[in-house]
Amino acid sequence: MKKKVLITYASRAGSTQGIAQAIGEVFVRHEADVEVRFILDIKDIQTYDIVIIGSPIRDMAWLPEAIRFINIQQQALKHKKVAYFIVGMTLRENTPENCETALHVLDPIKQILQPIDIGLFAGALLRDKRLKFIWWFIAKITGLPDGDFRNFHLVREWADQLAKRLLQEESVPNIAEVSTLQTEK
């Protein structure tokens, strides 16, 4: 029987959505039953075996709706295989400091629920209708460059490793087995 996988994401301008869709495509290739859905559209997760949750970093935190989702669903999530992914512009530069900073964004969330794995991915800063002027302005004054820095090869590689691991397991792994895959150019 196919494992049912939910890949849910919070997003402001679509960058994280694109990464979630790429992850979903990999899980489909591994013959999972996959749904990729915006986090505010999810009401019940009981039917899923695996839940992958992603959010961009804003103000050194995950988006509020992603945190709220984990808080609301925490009892159900404790009985699922759960992984997180982070999308951030600072991750366009693959340095240990940037990766460590991004991982610290999850500290409050990991107190609620430890993930099996965490993916770290660079995002995109594209001035268009989806990115509110205030976020674009803040990005500009803080020196972030315009552009799409998402590395879909890296995203698919992480998703492939995660799918192989989660779709073949019969039980939820020990928390001590948590691993992270750092971004690379």
CATH classification of the domain holding 23 = 3.40.50.360
| The pLDDT value given to residue 113 | 93
pLDDT (mean) for 127-140: 56
Domain count, the chain: 1
In a domain, 110, yes or no: yes
In a domain, 175, yes or no: no
Residue range(s) defining the domain that contains residue 20: 4-168
Whether the Cβ atoms of residue 184 and residue 154 lie closer than 8 Å to each other: yes
In a domain, 28, yes or no: yes
| The pLDDT value given to residue 1 | 80
Whether the Cβ atoms of residue 162 and residue 117 lie closer than 8 Å to each other: yes
In a domain, 10, yes or no: yes
In a domain, 184, yes or no: no
In a domain, 185, yes or no: no
pLDDT in tens, 4-62: 999 999 988 778 999 999 999 999 999 999 999 999 999 999 999 999 999 998 878 89
The better pLDDT of the pair 99, 160 is held by 160
In a domain, 179, yes or no: no
Alpha-carbon Rg for the chain, nearest whole angstrom, is 16
Q: Of the segments 73-77, 86-90, 174-178, which one has the largest average pLDDT value? A: 73-77
| The pLDDT value given to residue 156 | 97
